[in-house]
Amino acid sequence: MAEPTPIRIFDTTLRDGEQSPGATLNYQEKLEIARNLVALGVDVIEAGFPITSDGDFKAVRAIAAETEGAVVAGLARCVARDIDRVGEALKGTPGHRIHVFCATSKVHREKKLHKPIDEIIRLSVDSIKRARTYVDDVEFSPEDGSRTELNVLVDITAAAVEAGATTINIPDTVGYAVPAEYGEIFRHVREAIPELDRRDIYLSAHCHNDLGLAVANSLAAVEQGCRQIECTINGIGERAGNAALEEVVLALRTRRDYYTRFATQIHAARIYPLSRMVSNFTGLQVQRNKAIVGENAFAHEAGIHQDGVLKERSTYEIIDPAEVGVPSSKLVLGKHSGRHALRDRIVTLGYHVDEITLGRVYEAFKTLSDKKKSVYDEDIEALVESQIDASSSTNLWRLVSLQVTSGTNAIPTATVVLADTTGTQVTDASTGDGPVDAIYSAVQRITGVAVELLDYQLRAVTHGKDAQGEVSVEVRHKDLRVRGRGISTDVIEASAHAYVNAINRIRQVATRDRAAGGEGEEPRA
């Protein structure tokens, strides 16, 4: 049998995924995710959109500098300064990619860009050539490609290849395509431009899930000669998100009897830990019935199903949970576990911590294991994440202590003590609609930072009566939206930590310079 065609997995969790409202990732978090994407075996990591902010620029530069074994891509509009900015981010780190895009559909040409197709083609060609002065690897995307007339798509693709593009991505930007139709686009373009095969140009699919068809569309493209799939962990991204990496990969893998001609090089066992990390960092929880990575994905409720699985697993289970890294038992450590065992577990969970951070996590672990008999993977994740955050130099405020009284017949009252970077402690008290509101009022009095609470979520990280609660808040300060997290066996304390964390992060995010764009549009694509 012939060798299967390798299908490249292009992960855009750090670019399209981070565009999910409220999902802003900080620098440390992006690096941690990028390292895990490399370990997962993705071929391309789209690390950001450098022109949009200093944060994106720095993240692309840092990830490009340290990544081996995967191509790092930065996004750019067909605007000289966008391309130059990516070029600068990738400078001195060969083998990486500039990804330029320009909208080509009729509605985008006429209503958004106000440019005829000739001009769009010329602009695209010039931009691709400019990108090629920085790198050998250039991807071009005709935005809203699936709604672009086929002849226009063929013309711009041929011109882009001629200009030096090495990958042509045909995105279903608005999640409008259906599988047979989307596959047909790839068949048509490939047949119309024999040059694509002759020069070994990669065609790529980028699908959004607005009609629930992103995975099926990606697979339909692959069946018609597409060799790169753009996707995100947990399927996060603009609106209803992108094709979920885990679903695309597991469909090809589980149905290798059907997709005999194709294979990815993803290490499936690393999917679940990374899914949890992305969910924790972005605050975008995965619904319980999410395929592959949801809490119920491998749970059998019905008696008939349970009975069947006991008799023969394959009656109701097409994927072994262990295959995608779902641990069979989550209990790992207790108060007698040492530093070494903790480090091993942290590494297995996909985190990279230095000795100083490990020391801090170990201290926090000892404190927690005094309170809690069983320390689960989720507890360890939470400890590591809070220390990664605490080690960030931009933390202005630290929660020293708090005290709360509330009840159905009492006026909820909180006393809060915060320390600033100099160690100076400030104390204040406030009442509120509830204990959490009272704390938040007291924190606002101390910090003087006025924020609006947009979202507040609390979930038990682990099970049982001594479970830790993780609070995730989203706040708005002027036009900035940031998320903060806090964890504790006491939900009130976790709420306070999350709020202080959000206030500290406002400063980090505020440094992201949202430069105005050209072309009559804003630069965040």
Q: Between residue 295 and residue 354, which ones bind a copy of itself under the rule CB under 8 A?
A: 296-308, 311-312, 314-319
- Total count of residues recorded for the chain: 525
335 versus 343: smaller Cβ distance to a copy of itself: 335
Q: Does 212 bind a copy of itself (CB under 8 A)?
A: yes
Inter-residue contact 433 to 413 (CB < 8 Å): no
Minimum CB–partner distance for residue 153 and a copy of itself (Å): 17
35 versus 477: smaller Cβ distance to a copy of itself: 477
Handedness of CA 518, 519, 524, 525 (dihedral sign): negative
Q: Does 425 bind a copy of itself (CB under 8 A)?
A: no
166 versus 406: smaller Cβ distance to a copy of itself: 406
Q: Which of 8, 35, 108, 345 binds a copy of itself (CB under 8 A)?
A: 108
Angle (deg, nearest 10), helices 377-390 and 339-348 = 90
- The rounded distance, in Å, linking the Cα atoms of 49 and 101 is 12
Minimum CB–partner distance for residue 340 and a copy of itself (Å): 28
Integer angstrom CA distances of residue 449 from 21, 36, 424, 476: 22, 35, 17, 11
Residues paired with 469 in a beta bridge: 460, 488
93 versus 431: smaller Cβ distance to a copy of itself: 431
Minimum CB–partner distance for residue 249 and a copy of itself (Å): 10
Nearest by Cα to 172 from 262, 242, 68? 242
Handedness of CA 25, 26, 31, 36 (dihedral sign): negative
459 versus 478: smaller Cβ distance to a copy of itself: 459
Minimum CB–partner distance for residue 412 and a copy of itself (Å): 6
Minimum CB–partner distance for residue 63 and a copy of itself (Å): 20
Q: Cα–Cα–Cα angle for 264, 253, 280, nearest 5°?
A: 80
Q: Which of 466, 478, 511, 518 binds a copy of itself (CB under 8 A)?
A: 466
19 versus 36: smaller Cβ distance to a copy of itself: 19
Q: Which of 57, 272, 440, 499 binds a copy of itself (CB under 8 A)?
A: 440
- The rounded distance, in Å, linking the Cα atoms of 484 and 38 is 27
Minimum CB–partner distance for residue 143 and a copy of itself (Å): 9
CB atoms near residue 54 (< 10 Å): 14
40 versus 249: smaller Cβ distance to a copy of itself: 249
Minimum CB–partner distance for residue 451 and a copy of itself (Å): 10
Q: Does 71 bind a copy of itself (CB under 8 A)?
A: no
338 versus 464: smaller Cβ distance to a copy of itself: 464
Phi and psi (nearest 5°) for 470?
A: -110, 125
CA dihedral 208→210→214→217, nearest 10 degrees, is -100
Span interacting with a copy of itself, options 78-86, 210-218, 268-276, 379-387, rule CB under 8 A: 210-218
Q: Which of 469, 504, 508, 509 binds a copy of itself (CB under 8 A)?
A: 469
Nearest by Cα to 252 from 216, 286, 296? 216
Q: Which of 4, 41, 294, 327 binds a copy of itself (CB under 8 A)?
A: 294
Total residues interacting with a copy of itself, rule: CB under 8 A: 131
Span interacting with a copy of itself, options 90-98, 187-195, 338-346, 490-498, rule CB under 8 A: 490-498
What amino acid occupies position 65? A
Binding mask 355-394 for a copy of itself (x = CB under 8 A): ----------------xx----------------------
Which SS3 state, helix, strand or coil, does residue 21 take?
A: coil
Which SS3 state, helix, strand or coil, does residue 168 take?
A: strand
What amino acid occupies position 164? G
Which SS3 state, helix, strand or coil, does residue 127 take?
A: helix
Which SS3 state, helix, strand or coil, does residue 364 take?
A: helix
323 versus 344: smaller Cβ distance to a copy of itself: 323
Inter-residue contact 149 to 187 (CB < 8 Å): no
- The rounded distance, in Å, linking the Cα atoms of 73 and 50 is 10
Span 180-209, contacts to a copy of itself by CB under 8 A: 181, 209
Span 221-280, contacts to a copy of itself by CB under 8 A: 235-241, 243-244, 247-248, 250-251, 254-255, 258-259
Minimum CB–partner distance for residue 132 and a copy of itself (Å): 24
Q: Which of 5, 6, 21, 191 binds a copy of itself (CB under 8 A)?
A: 21
- The rounded distance, in Å, linking the Cα atoms of 525 and 517 is 10
Span 38-57, contacts to a copy of itself by CB under 8 A: 52
Inter-residue contact 166 to 138 (CB < 8 Å): yes
Minimum CB–partner distance for residue 278 and a copy of itself (Å): 12
CA dihedral 50→34→7→264, nearest 10 degrees, is -170
Binding mask 155-184 for a copy of itself (x = CB under 8 A): ------------------xxxx-xx-x---
Strands (E) located in 413-451: 413-419, 425-431
Span interacting with a copy of itself, options 335-343, 388-396, 487-495, 499-507, rule CB under 8 A: 487-495
What are the tokens at 507? 């400063």
Span 392-421, contacts to a copy of itself by CB under 8 A: 399-410, 412, 415
Q: Identify the residue whose tokens are 């979920």.
A: 244
The 3-class SS string of 201-252 reads: CEEEEEEECCCCCHHHHHHHHHCCCCCEEEEEHHHCCCCCCECEHHHHHHHH
259 versus 351: smaller Cβ distance to a copy of itself: 259
Minimum CB–partner distance for residue 105 and a copy of itself (Å): 8
198 versus 311: smaller Cβ distance to a copy of itself: 311
